[in-house]
Amino acid sequence: MAKILVVEDDDGVRGVVQDALQWERHTVEAVCDGEEALIRLQNGAYDAVVLDWHLPKLAGIDVLKQFREGGGTTPVLMLTGKVMPTDKVSGLDAGADDYLTKPFNVPEFCARVRALLRRSTSGLASDNLQVGDLVLDKNSYAVTRGGKSITLVPKEFALLEFLMRHPETVFSAEALLARVWTIDEETSPDIIRTYIKRLRKKLDTGGGEGDSPIQTIYGVGYKLIKS
Protein backbone atom coordinates (compact mmCIF):
# COMPACT_ATOMS: atom_id res chain seq x y z
CA MET A 1 0.00 0.00 0.00
CA ALA A 2 1.37 3.37 -1.05
CA LYS A 3 -0.12 6.80 -0.59
CA ILE A 4 -0.27 8.46 -4.01
CA LEU A 5 -1.20 11.99 -5.07
CA VAL A 6 -2.92 12.24 -8.46
CA VAL A 7 -2.90 15.67 -10.10
CA GLU A 8 -5.18 15.76 -13.16
CA ASP A 9 -7.81 18.27 -14.27
CA ASP A 10 -9.64 15.97 -16.71
CA ASP A 11 -12.42 14.24 -14.76
CA GLY A 12 -12.40 11.14 -16.95
CA VAL A 13 -8.65 10.59 -16.85
CA ARG A 14 -8.52 11.34 -13.13
CA GLY A 15 -11.24 8.76 -12.49
CA VAL A 16 -9.47 6.07 -14.53
CA VAL A 17 -6.15 6.71 -12.77
CA GLN A 18 -7.72 6.80 -9.33
CA ASP A 19 -9.68 3.58 -9.95
CA ALA A 20 -6.58 1.79 -11.27
CA LEU A 21 -4.48 2.76 -8.26
CA GLN A 22 -7.20 1.92 -5.76
CA TRP A 23 -7.66 -1.45 -7.46
CA GLU A 24 -4.02 -2.09 -6.57
CA ARG A 25 -4.95 -1.14 -2.98
CA HIS A 26 -3.15 2.18 -2.84
CA THR A 27 -4.46 5.13 -0.87
CA VAL A 28 -5.17 7.91 -3.36
CA GLU A 29 -5.68 11.65 -3.03
CA ALA A 30 -6.70 13.51 -6.17
CA VAL A 31 -6.60 17.24 -6.99
CA CYS A 32 -7.28 19.11 -10.21
CA ASP A 33 -5.07 22.23 -10.17
CA GLY A 34 -1.39 22.97 -9.76
CA GLU A 35 -1.61 25.32 -6.81
CA GLU A 36 -3.50 22.79 -4.70
CA ALA A 37 -1.04 20.09 -5.76
CA LEU A 38 1.93 22.14 -4.57
CA ILE A 39 0.23 22.83 -1.24
CA ARG A 40 -0.45 19.11 -0.75
CA LEU A 41 3.14 18.21 -1.65
CA GLN A 42 4.57 20.80 0.72
CA ASN A 43 2.37 19.73 3.62
CA GLY A 44 1.61 16.06 3.07
CA ALA A 45 3.47 12.75 2.91
CA TYR A 46 3.22 10.73 -0.31
CA ASP A 47 5.03 7.74 -1.74
CA ALA A 48 4.48 8.74 -5.38
CA VAL A 49 2.87 11.45 -7.51
CA VAL A 50 1.06 11.17 -10.85
CA LEU A 51 1.26 14.63 -12.41
CA ASP A 52 -0.34 16.15 -15.51
CA TRP A 53 1.45 18.96 -17.35
CA HIS A 54 -1.48 21.17 -18.42
CA LEU A 55 -3.19 22.25 -15.20
CA PRO A 56 -5.22 25.28 -14.06
CA LYS A 57 -3.51 27.93 -11.89
CA LEU A 58 -0.01 26.38 -12.07
CA ALA A 59 1.40 24.13 -14.78
CA GLY A 60 2.51 20.66 -13.75
CA ILE A 61 6.07 21.32 -14.91
CA ASP A 62 6.22 24.33 -12.57
CA VAL A 63 4.75 22.31 -9.70
CA LEU A 64 7.51 19.78 -10.25
CA LYS A 65 10.29 22.37 -10.46
CA GLN A 66 9.18 24.14 -7.28
CA PHE A 67 8.76 20.86 -5.45
CA ARG A 68 12.26 19.69 -6.39
CA GLU A 69 13.81 23.09 -5.66
CA GLY A 70 12.26 22.89 -2.20
CA GLY A 71 13.97 19.56 -1.57
CA GLY A 72 11.06 17.24 -2.44
CA THR A 73 12.22 13.72 -3.29
CA THR A 74 8.93 11.87 -3.83
CA PRO A 75 8.96 9.87 -7.12
CA VAL A 76 6.93 11.61 -9.84
CA LEU A 77 5.35 10.11 -12.95
CA MET A 78 4.31 12.73 -15.48
CA LEU A 79 1.15 11.64 -17.30
CA THR A 80 0.55 14.11 -20.11
CA GLY A 81 -0.65 14.76 -23.62
CA LYS A 82 2.64 16.47 -24.52
CA VAL A 83 4.21 13.90 -26.81
CA MET A 84 7.22 15.63 -28.39
CA PRO A 85 10.66 14.25 -27.46
CA THR A 86 11.67 17.74 -26.34
CA ASP A 87 8.71 17.76 -23.92
CA LYS A 88 9.84 14.47 -22.42
CA VAL A 89 13.37 15.82 -22.01
CA SER A 90 12.00 18.96 -20.32
CA GLY A 91 9.87 16.90 -17.95
CA LEU A 92 12.69 14.58 -16.97
CA ASP A 93 15.13 17.47 -16.59
CA ALA A 94 12.62 19.24 -14.32
CA GLY A 95 12.73 16.27 -11.95
CA ALA A 96 10.24 13.68 -13.21
CA ASP A 97 11.25 10.07 -12.59
CA ASP A 98 9.15 8.73 -15.47
CA TYR A 99 7.07 10.14 -18.32
CA LEU A 100 3.99 8.57 -19.93
CA THR A 101 1.94 10.14 -22.71
CA LYS A 102 -1.84 10.11 -23.23
CA PRO A 103 -3.72 8.15 -24.38
CA PHE A 104 -2.17 5.47 -22.21
CA ASN A 105 -2.56 1.79 -21.51
CA VAL A 106 -3.80 1.24 -17.94
CA PRO A 107 -1.77 -1.95 -17.27
CA GLU A 108 1.37 -0.17 -18.50
CA PHE A 109 0.57 2.80 -16.27
CA CYS A 110 0.19 0.52 -13.24
CA ALA A 111 3.45 -1.24 -14.10
CA ARG A 112 5.28 2.09 -14.27
CA VAL A 113 3.92 3.07 -10.85
CA ARG A 114 5.06 -0.27 -9.44
CA ALA A 115 8.51 0.34 -10.94
CA LEU A 116 8.67 3.75 -9.26
CA LEU A 117 7.77 2.23 -5.93
CA ARG A 118 10.32 -0.57 -6.34
CA ARG A 119 13.05 2.00 -6.86
CA SER A 120 12.05 3.85 -3.72
CA THR A 121 13.91 3.07 -0.50
CA SER A 122 10.83 1.73 1.30
CA GLY A 123 10.24 -1.25 -1.00
CA LEU A 124 6.58 -0.39 -1.38
CA ALA A 125 6.06 -2.60 -4.43
CA SER A 126 6.64 -5.83 -2.49
CA ASP A 127 3.42 -7.85 -2.22
CA ASN A 128 4.54 -10.27 0.49
CA LEU A 129 5.70 -9.10 3.91
CA GLN A 130 6.89 -11.05 6.93
CA VAL A 131 7.90 -9.67 10.30
CA GLY A 132 8.53 -12.40 12.87
CA ASP A 133 5.57 -14.77 12.77
CA LEU A 134 3.34 -12.13 11.16
CA VAL A 135 2.77 -12.58 7.41
CA LEU A 136 0.85 -10.28 5.05
CA ASP A 137 0.06 -11.08 1.41
CA LYS A 138 -1.28 -8.05 -0.45
CA ASN A 139 -2.36 -10.03 -3.51
CA SER A 140 -4.63 -12.39 -1.61
CA TYR A 141 -5.48 -9.80 1.05
CA ALA A 142 -4.46 -12.33 3.68
CA VAL A 143 -2.82 -11.91 7.09
CA THR A 144 -1.62 -14.73 9.31
CA ARG A 145 0.21 -14.86 12.62
CA GLY A 146 1.78 -18.11 13.68
CA GLY A 147 -0.12 -19.74 10.83
CA LYS A 148 -3.47 -18.53 12.14
CA SER A 149 -5.61 -16.55 9.68
CA ILE A 150 -6.63 -13.04 10.75
CA THR A 151 -9.50 -11.10 9.18
CA LEU A 152 -8.99 -7.35 8.86
CA VAL A 153 -11.13 -4.53 7.47
CA PRO A 154 -9.45 -2.42 4.74
CA LYS A 155 -8.13 0.38 6.96
CA GLU A 156 -6.80 -2.10 9.54
CA PHE A 157 -5.05 -3.93 6.70
CA ALA A 158 -3.55 -0.69 5.36
CA LEU A 159 -2.31 0.38 8.79
CA LEU A 160 -0.75 -3.01 9.50
CA GLU A 161 0.86 -3.09 6.05
CA PHE A 162 2.43 0.32 6.62
CA LEU A 163 3.82 -0.70 10.01
CA MET A 164 5.17 -3.96 8.56
CA ARG A 165 6.99 -2.05 5.84
CA HIS A 166 8.75 -0.01 8.53
CA PRO A 167 9.45 -2.44 11.42
CA GLU A 168 11.09 -1.05 14.55
CA THR A 169 10.33 2.51 13.41
CA VAL A 170 8.27 4.65 15.78
CA PHE A 171 5.46 6.71 14.25
CA SER A 172 3.37 9.29 16.03
CA ALA A 173 -0.40 9.18 15.66
CA GLU A 174 -0.17 12.23 13.40
CA ALA A 175 2.42 10.54 11.17
CA LEU A 176 0.26 7.44 10.80
CA LEU A 177 -2.74 9.57 9.88
CA ALA A 178 -0.66 11.37 7.25
CA ARG A 179 0.57 8.14 5.65
CA VAL A 180 -2.48 5.86 5.82
CA TRP A 181 -5.48 8.22 5.76
CA THR A 182 -6.34 10.78 3.07
CA ILE A 183 -6.84 14.47 3.77
CA ASP A 184 -10.53 14.07 2.89
CA GLU A 185 -11.18 11.49 5.61
CA GLU A 186 -12.20 12.40 9.14
CA THR A 187 -9.09 11.97 11.28
CA SER A 188 -7.88 12.46 14.83
CA PRO A 189 -5.34 10.78 17.15
CA ASP A 190 -8.29 8.99 18.76
CA ILE A 191 -8.91 7.20 15.46
CA ILE A 192 -5.36 5.84 15.49
CA ARG A 193 -5.74 4.67 19.09
CA THR A 194 -8.96 2.88 18.14
CA TYR A 195 -7.39 1.10 15.17
CA ILE A 196 -4.26 0.15 17.12
CA LYS A 197 -6.48 -1.34 19.84
CA ARG A 198 -8.45 -3.34 17.23
CA LEU A 199 -5.27 -4.61 15.56
CA ARG A 200 -3.77 -5.69 18.86
CA LYS A 201 -6.91 -7.63 19.74
CA LYS A 202 -6.99 -9.37 16.38
CA LEU A 203 -3.26 -10.15 16.43
CA ASP A 204 -3.38 -11.52 19.98
CA THR A 205 -2.25 -15.16 20.10
CA GLY A 206 -2.97 -15.59 23.78
CA GLY A 207 0.65 -15.18 24.79
CA GLY A 208 -0.11 -12.77 27.60
CA GLU A 209 1.47 -9.41 28.29
CA GLY A 210 4.03 -8.42 25.67
CA ASP A 211 2.53 -10.76 23.06
CA SER A 212 1.41 -7.97 20.71
CA PRO A 213 3.83 -7.10 17.89
CA ILE A 214 2.58 -3.50 18.07
CA GLN A 215 4.16 -1.56 20.90
CA THR A 216 3.25 1.83 22.34
CA ILE A 217 6.15 4.17 23.01
CA TYR A 218 4.45 6.39 25.55
CA GLY A 219 4.49 10.06 24.66
CA VAL A 220 5.93 9.28 21.22
CA GLY A 221 3.86 6.84 19.18
CA TYR A 222 3.71 3.23 17.97
CA LYS A 223 5.99 0.70 16.34
CA LEU A 224 5.89 -2.88 15.06
CA ILE A 225 8.60 -5.04 16.61
CA LYS A 226 10.42 -7.76 14.70
CA SER A 227 10.06 -10.49 17.26
44 and 84 co-located in one domain: yes
Q: How much is the pLDDT for 43?
A: 85
Range of the domain at 111: 3-119
User: Do residue 38 and residue 109 come from a single domain?
Assistant: yes
Assess whether 196 and 108 both reside in one domain. no
Do both 44 and 108 map to the same domain?
yes
Q: What pLDDT was estimated at residue 124?
A: 58
β-bridge mates for residue 10, sequence order: none
User: Which domain CATH number covers 70?
Assistant: 3.40.50.2300
d(CA 1, CA 149): 20
| Tens of each residue's pLDDT in the chain, 227 residues | 789 999 999 999 999 999 999 988 898 999 999 999 999 998 878 999 999 999 999 999 999 999 999 999 899 999 999 999 999 999 999 999 999 999 999 999 999 999 998 877 555 556 788 898 899 988 788 999 988 999 999 899 999 999 998 899 999 999 899 888 887 787 888 899 999 999 999 998 765 445 789 999 998 999 999 86
The number of distinct structural domains making up the chain is 2
What was the pLDDT predicted at 138?
Answer: 83
Domain end point (choices 83, 98, 119) = 119
The pLDDT, as a whole number, for residue 45 is 84
pTM: 0.76
CATH number, position 193:
1.10.10.10
Task: Supply the pLDDT for residue 126.
Answer: 65
* Same structural domain, 11 and 105: yes
| 68 and 143 belong to one structural domain | no
Is there a single domain that holds both residue 17 and residue 89? Answer: yes
- Amino acid 207: pLDDT: 52
Stated as kind and residue range, the H or E segment containing 148 is: strand 148-150
Task: Give, in order, the Cα–Cα distances in Å from 142 to each of 127, 138, 149, 161, 216.
Answer: 11, 7, 7, 11, 25
Cα within 13 Å of Cα(30), Cβ side: 17
Last residue of a domain, one of 119, 138, 168: 119
Task: Say if CB 134 and CB 143 are below 8 A apart.
Answer: yes
Residues 112 and 136 in one domain: no
Last residue of a domain, one of 119, 143, 160: 119
94 lies in the same domain as 11: yes
Is the same domain home to 115 and 10? yes
Q: Which amino acid is at 167?
A: P
pLDDT of 193 reads 92
| Claim to verify: residue 140 and residue 176 sit in the same structural domain | yes
**One domain, residues 164 and 88:** no
